[in-house]
Each structure stands twice: as C-alpha cells, then as structure tokens.
Structure 1
C-alpha cells in the first residue's frame, strides 16, 4: 500500500489524484481551499493505492497539547474510492501510527465509500443523507416526487429563477451569516465572507436565486463533480423559506443537463425530523451517514481525556471525547 498526503499548494496533483476516482464537491481542491480561508485549518488530501484500488479522503490534522489527531473537514466528503479493498483498514492503521495520530473521526462517503474502508467495530451511523437518482432524467425524478411536491412545482418555470445572475453572490455572502445568527447555529456551520465568496466563485458551484418585484429573496448554493451534485447552503430573507422547493428543482434541472447522475440534498438535524421529511419528499433515497471513531494511541487518548475531564470509554457521544469539553 502506497499512501501520501497532498497539500493545498499542490493543486494540480490534488486534481489529478481525483480525476478518475468517484468523488463529490467536498473532496475537491476548490471546496477544501475555500474552507481553509476561515482559519479552521488547512485540509490535505489523503491518497492510498494498492490492490488495483485507489482510496482518497480530505483530512484535517489537528494539534492538541503537542499531539495530533485527524478528522474529515466540514461537508460531505469522507473516504471514497474506486472499489472494495479488504486490506485497506490495516494499511490505514499503519499510516495513522506513522503520522502519530491519537484518534480519528473520519466520514465514509455515503455514495462512494465502500464497507471495506472501515473496521465495522469502529463505525457509527449518526444520521442519513437524502440522494436523488438523476440517471433517468427529469421525467424520472418527477415521477418520484411526493404529491405535495408536484403540487408545489405545478407552475414552475425556469424563467422565474435566476442562475448565477447579477447580485446573487453578494446577497448570499451578506445574508448567510445572518441566517445562521437567526438560527443560533453551531459555530461549525458559520463561515466568514472570504470562504463564502470563494465558494461562489468556483467553476464547480452555481447559485440559484429568486426575485420578487426585483428584490432577491432567496439564494441557494450547489456544488457538483462529474459523479454527483450537492446542495450546500441556502440564504433567504425572513419569511422567504418557501422558495427552497423550486430552487432545488431548478438545480436538479441543471445537474441533469450536465449529466450528473446523483443529487445529494443532505440530511436533517436528526433522523426523521421535519428537515429530513422535507428532503425525502423530493423522492430522495436515505443513505446512512457512516463515520469511523477510532483510537490509534490508547495511552495518549486516555491521557488527553483525563486532562480534559472526559470519559475515554464513551464512543456514543462527541468524538474524540477530549474535544467536547
């Protein structure tokens, strides 16, 4: 097994490593670079090759009291690859030991991550993400819509929605922080103007907005690769959340035109909540959001937990436990 880390400064190598590996927007150099502008750390791309398979995953290596742990960055990325690899987990543990990781929290991509990429003992499923199959086009997607969604979209027309139009990016960058403030969102969901603007400027993203009497009321940001599209963020004025359904349907049309086979809407705040139900009504199938919670240096992990007043035996809550205090 050959493993390597690719830095953001190595953009060409990053993009070449993903060129023939199924991946989503969160794996891309553009997404990871934009996230790095908010000061949360600089992601690297982990790439492993062996047994005729390639596995890739963005990582954040994080310092804590002179030690190092690892996690996947914000968003829907995670371990992805070109096929099953039964020997991968052993090779990954050797790599983790060489890097000196104490522990790791790694997502397994819901669409393209294989079960062989993680030891089942370390895998948890905390939520679901909802994915629309676009392979049979707009007509197939329409057939899978709920009755309520069809009613809401009965009068939909592409002329009513603005794609990458004037003012959409400025509106989104200005309004998204205000939306997060009104929702009292956790800090991990809050991003500054540099990150938001960088996301809007990428060739692998597009904005869909709606105007009423010339005033922009709601804008959604979507990302895509040849393998899948993702609903990323929405920013709407108070009382304008009702625009979300036609904005998503407009994005679906664009992705179909670009021959993108899957459209990931994300999940709810928890399984079965109202947000999850909203996404399921698009005919989206729920896929498990798997994550690996693994300790690589038990002694160091227990020491950090003790120092931070956390229970080292707790694998059900926040992980690593020493970062939740």
Structure 2
C-alpha cells in the first residue's frame, strides 16, 4: 500500500513555518531558514523555497532554488550541503515529489545531497551521480583520540598552538573582523565567484545562533584570523576561515576550536568540505585532520522530457548526456 504524502512549499518570508517544518529532522545549516535568508533573500534570478512532504508516519524536506525559464522553471539546491532529508516511513515520497514537480511546472532539477544526511527514498538509480567528495571527521571519540588520529606533523603543532595562543570568542568583535578579513582572504586564494558574498550576507551568516566563531589576535591585540563553523546535530559543517596574509598559521588551531565546540554540542561528525581539485593542497590540509574522503551524490532529474529536449535543442547541447553539467542547457559557454 502506498502512503499518500501531503506536499507544500514554505517561503523565506515565513521563517517560523520553515523552522517548524524542520522540527524533528536531523539537518545541516544549509537547511535552516536564517542561513538561506542570509544568502538567498533578494535574488532576482531565483527564489529559495522549502519543499515539505509529510504523512502521519514520516516527513521529508528539501530547500530548492526555483529558477525562471520564461513561462516555466527549473530547480537546483542552493549553496551549502542541503538536499533531501527525512525521518520515519517515507513510502511514497518519490512519487509525491515528482507529481509536485510536474504540477509546479519544473522542467528539470539538480539536487545535491548531503554527504551524511541524504535521504535514500528519493530518486531512481539512473538519476544518481557521484559528485565531488568531501572530508568527514568522526567526532565521537575522545578529544585526545581525535588528535591522535591526525597526521604526525599536525599533532605537535596543534598542541603547541593551543598552549601559546589565547583564543578570542567575543561574537560582536569576531563578526566585525570576519566581514573585514573574508573578501581579501578569498581574493588571495583565487576563489571562485560562488564563494564571494556581500558584507550583509557575511554579517548575517556570522551572527546566526547555529554558527560558532573563534579568533586569534596579533601583537597589537587586533583580530587577525577567524574560523566559522556551523553546529547542527548530528553533522556539523566547517564553513570558512579568513585571515590576514601573515596569519594563516592560525587555521589549524581555530578550525580545531570549531570541531571541539561542535563535539561539545552533540555533533557526531563534521563535514570539512572537499578539495578545489583532486590531490590539491586544500584536500591534503583537511585529510591531515584525520578526516575520511567520502563520496557525495547528486540527483539529475527531468520532469518534462519534451520541454527539456526543446531547451537543449535551442541551446545546441546534447539532451541525452547526463554526465556533465546539468541541466545541459544551462552549461556555461
């Protein structure tokens, strides 16, 4: 017997309803209304909404960006590690989602799934694709055991840093410092445009209840490095580190402070994110924490095949090839 699930959308203009829909669901910061509002409010190219499906025996949600296509729309998961999450009996979820997507007029959807919270009740096998892997660190062992699992070079340097550096925790000061330090730090790294946010978005993210900040001072007493970690159970997310050019050596210690706070607040895992490209220094930096490279999945779904084929034809791309950029008609040219 198929369980009929009721479906609806919740918008960012109703944060109370959004938060109520998340109640009882293990989730990440990317699922929370305040985080989504910080990044997605006021966009003219898309609107962020929360899809909710529920029955008496189960519930699932997924934040999506609805992107206009003349008289139609397609969807994608917004920035961060979100995707479908759910609890209970989710029988009928896949059917309910597809029916909803067709009723809403979606042509296609790209749905990135969280590496440790993803919902297996959604999507067909042929729609599942591997996405960029991330580094997950198990926070369940004791602190000494977690440090013992780090690389041989990292262990002594972290212990020395913890003895020598007084960690700053005052939120107001750290928020100001983070907003100031982040843009030039990312510019020096040559980061992609997706990682550049306006000052208002940075300030709103840094002020969230689910976010913890730790900082280090220079000899003049000024904050010269800040780490930002999102703490939700059971899986926290390391978000950002920003520093002056001469203060990058604080990164390990400040990120560790975020891990320790996440563990204290009940997180069992922390997602450190991935590498920029396979085998680069960013990935090696995360691996040395003792983290495990973990595959992630995305769903590439077509809800209106005729419309999808027509859009691909208009944009001179192969509608049959799902291995590359998706939807194919949105591929950068």
Q: Give the TM interval when normalised to the shorter protein.
A: over 0.9
Q: Which residue of 2 aligns with 1:287?
A: 294
Q: Distance in 1 between matches of 2:225 and 2:316?
A: 44
2:167 is equivalent to residue 161 of structure 1: yes
* Structure 1 position 196 matched with structure 2 position 205: no
**Do residues 170 (structure 1) and 176 (structure 2) align?**
yes
Q: Which residue of 1 aligns with 2:58?
A: 53
1:28 aligns with 2:32: yes
Partners of 1:137 and 1:256 within 8 A in 2: no
Q: What TM-score does the superposition give when structure 1 sets the normalisation length? A: 0.93
- Match for residue 99 of structure 2? 94
What is aligned with 1:107?
112
Cα shift at 1:138: 1.6
The runs of 5 or more residues in structure 1 that have no matched partner are: none
Kept after mapping to 1: 8 A contact 2:287/2:293: yes
1:240-251 aligned at under 5 Å gives the runs: 240-251=247-258
Paired residue secondary structure (1:20): coil
TM-score between the two structures when normalised by the length of structure 2? 0.91
Equivalent of 1:149, from 150, 154, 161?
154
CA offset at residue 83 of structure 1?
A: 5.0
Contact map agreement 2:47 2:67 (CA 8 A) in 1:
no
| Distance in 2 between residues matched to 1:285 and 1:276, nearest whole Å | 11
Matched, 1:10 2:14: yes
Measured in 2, the distance between the counterparts of 1:144 and 1:55 equals: 35
Secondary structure of residue in 2 paired with 1:154: helix
Distance of 1:84 and 1:119 partners within structure 2:
18
CA contact (8 A) 1:84 1:115 kept: no
- Report the 3-state secondary structure (helix = DSSP H, G, I; strand = E; otherwise coil) of the residue aligned with 1:147: coil
User: How many residues are treated as equivalent by the alignment?
Assistant: 325
Displacement of 1:165 in angstroms is 4.6
SS in 1 for 2:145: helix
Match of 2:187 in 1: 181
Tell whether 2:87 aligns with 1:82.
Answer: yes
Give the Cα separation in 2 of the matches to 1:128 and 1:183.
21
Structure 1 Cα separation of the partners of residues 42 and 249 of structure 2: 30
Shift, 1:166, TM fit: 5.1
CA shift, 1:267, in A, is 1.0
Q: Can you list the C-alpha shifts for 1:49-76, whole angstroms capped at 9, x where unaligned?
A: 2472221111111102222001110011
SS in structure 2 of the partner of residue 33 of structure 1: helix
| Alpha-carbon displacement from aligned partner over 1:201-231 (angstroms, at most 9, x marks no partner) | 1111121111120232221211122332211
Mapped to 2, the partners of 1:72 and 1:23 lie a distance apart of: 15
Residue 71 of structure 1 corresponds to 76
Q: In structure 1, how many angstroms separate the alpha carbons of the residues matched to 2:72 and 2:223?
A: 47
Are 2:122 and 1:122 equivalent residues in the alignment? Answer: no
> Runs of 5+ in structure 2 lacking a partner?
none
CA contact (8 A) 1:208 1:221 kept: yes
1:129-181: per-residue Cα shift (whole Å, max 9, x none)?
Answer: 11222223323322322212212212132762212455321221122222333
**Partners of 2:277 and 2:42 in 1: CA distance:** 26
- Would the alpha carbon gap of residues 313 and 141 (structure 1) be closer, same or farther in structure 2, given more than 3 Å must change? same
- 1:191 Cα deviation (Å)? 0.7
| Partners of 1:310 and 1:85 in 2: CA distance | 36
Q: Secondary structure at the match of 2:294?
A: strand
Q: Secondary structure of 1:47's match?
A: strand
Matched residue of 1:266: which SS? coil
Distance in 1, matches of 2:19 and 2:179, equals 26
Tell me the secondary structure at the aligned position of residue 135 of structure 1: coil
Are 1:134 and 1:140, in contact at CA under 8 Å, matched by a contact in 2? no
